[in-house]
Amino acid sequence: MIQLTSKNIKLRALEPQDLDFLFHVENDTSFWEVSNTVVPFSQYILSQYLANAHQDIYEAKQLRLIIENQGNPIGMIDLFDFDPQHHRAGIGIVLLDKFQHKGFANEALTIFIKYAFNTLQLHQLYANITTDNQQSIKLFTNNNFELIGIKKDWIHIDNQYKDEGLYQIINKQNTRNE
C-alpha cells in the first residue's frame, strides 16, 4: 500500500472544511492559465463540488487531493481525463506562492506518481505545461517526464498565444509487449 505522506507533506481527500481554501485557489486569477478557467467560482458551486468529491475515480474520471503541510492546506494535485481502458491520466499541481521553492511540489508529485502507477495501475501520466513555465517544466522533468511534443499557439491568455508542451511519463514496470 502506498503511503500518501512524506517527511513534509500529506496528500488527503477533500473535506467540507476545505471550502474556503478551494474558493481562494479557484478564484486566484494567477492560476487560471493552468486550470483553463476564465470565470470565478461561487462558494455555492464549490460546496456542490465538495459534496460530490467522494465519487470514485472510475465514476468521476478525476481525483483531486489536498497537499497539506503541518495540518494546513498548501496546494492541490489532480488526476484528470482518467482513462481506465487505456490506463492513463493527466496530472496537474497547484501550490500557493508562499510554499513554492521549498520542495513541497516535488514531494507531492513523487508520491502521486507512485500512487497512480502502483495503486491505480496506470501505464502513463501526462502534463500540459506552457513553454514559458520553467518552474513546472523543471518539476516534471526532474520526475522523469519527457517532452514529447509542442502544441503551437495552444493557450490564449492576456491577448497573446502561448505554446504548450506535452510531457509524459510511462510506467516502465507496466510496458507494452514488443
How high is the mean pLDDT in each 10-residue block of the chain (178 residues)? Answer: 85 88 67 58 62 68 93 95 96 94 96 95 97 96 98 91 96 66
Report the pLDDT value the prediction gives residue 21, as an integer from 0 to 100. Answer: 76
Instruction: For residue 142, give the nearest of 154, 132, 127 by alpha carbon.
Output: 127
Instruction: For residue 133, give the nearest of 109, 108, 100 by alpha carbon.
Output: 100
Domain ranges of the chain: 10-174
Q: Please, are residues 158 and 131 in contact by the beta-carbon 8 Å criterion? A: no
Q: Please, are residues 77 and 67 in contact by the beta-carbon 8 Å criterion? A: yes
> Would you call 130 helix, strand, or coil by DSSP?
strand
In the chain, the largest separation of any two C-alpha atoms, in whole Å, equals: 51
Report the pLDDT value the prediction gives residue 129, as an integer from 0 to 100. Answer: 96
57 CB-near residues (< 8 Å, 6+ apart) = 63, 79, 82, 120
Topology (CATH) of 10-174: Aminopeptidase (3.40.630)
Report the pLDDT value the prediction gives residue 178, as an integer from 0 to 100. Answer: 42
Buried b (16+ CB within 10 A) or exposed e, 29-49: eeeebbeeeeeeeeeeebeee
Report the pLDDT value the prediction gives residue 34, as an integer from 0 to 100. Answer: 59
